[in-house]
Amino acid sequence: MGQTQELGQIIILNGTPRSGKSSIVEAIQEMFDGVWMNLGVDRFMQMTPARYLPGIGLRPGGERQDIEPLVPILYSAMYESIAAHSRLGLNVVVDVGHHDGYAIKRGILTDSAQRLKGLPVLFVGVRCPIEIIIERRQNTGWKAVNAADSLGPNAVELWQREVHIPGIYDLEVDTSLLSPGECAEVIRQHLLNSPAPSAFQRLAALSGN
């Protein structure tokens, strides 16, 4: 029997922690038609053994070189799961903090794109000024356990620089200017008016496969 299942749409929200990605995920799940599964970084970190955390949430800077070799494998498993959901007709929204600021270049993003080759993907950059990110962290009661766990302005600036590479996204939204629902609506309109996003296709081509 031939496969006639329509592919599920994939939306990848990429930005620094507390940039507002999770709130956009919730808005998409509430506002968009159909089933939208959240397969983002927090879900996968919850499944990761404590001694290997932060796993795919590892910050740029090369501070945990002991677990770095595992991170590309974890990302590969994550993206294979995303691809499987899409092939079964389930829509997927993913919130991540892709960067390549590891001790050595890992090429995780291009490998991830290759794993979604042929699937409908919209790659969205989620922006937010550093001062608002720091304020959000403080308002949620976050406290650094030690200096290495701190994510102050300098660390956020590094992550911002690694995440927001010019021209990498199909679309960018700024959560300091738009509410989560407004961001979701911008994404919806982009999907309606631009049915064939190409950012992840370009990234997949960089892998040479």
pLDDT (tens, 9 = 90+) of the chain, 209 residues, equals 345 679 999 999 999 999 999 999 999 999 999 999 999 999 999 999 999 999 999 989 888 999 999 999 999 999 999 999 999 999 999 999 999 999 999 999 999 999 999 999 999 999 999 899 888 877 765 554 334 445 555 777 888 889 988 889 999 999 999 999 999 999 999 999 986 667 888 888 766 55
Strands (DSSP E) along the chain, which ranges? 10-14, 36-38, 91-96, 121-127, 171-174
Is the CB of residue 190 less than 8 Å from the CB of residue 171?
Answer: yes
3-state secondary structure of 120: coil
Q: Cα dist. 151→22, 130, 131, 157 in Å?
A: 18, 11, 12, 10
94 and 188 Cβ atoms separated by less than 8 Å? no
Rounded (5°) CA angle 100-102-104: 100
Write phi, then psi, for 45 (nearest 5 degrees). -70, -30
List the 10-14 sheet strands across, edge first.
Answer: 36-38, 91-96, 10-14, 121-127, 171-174
CA distance 84 to 28: 20
Residues 20 and 69: their CA atoms lie apart, in Å, by 28
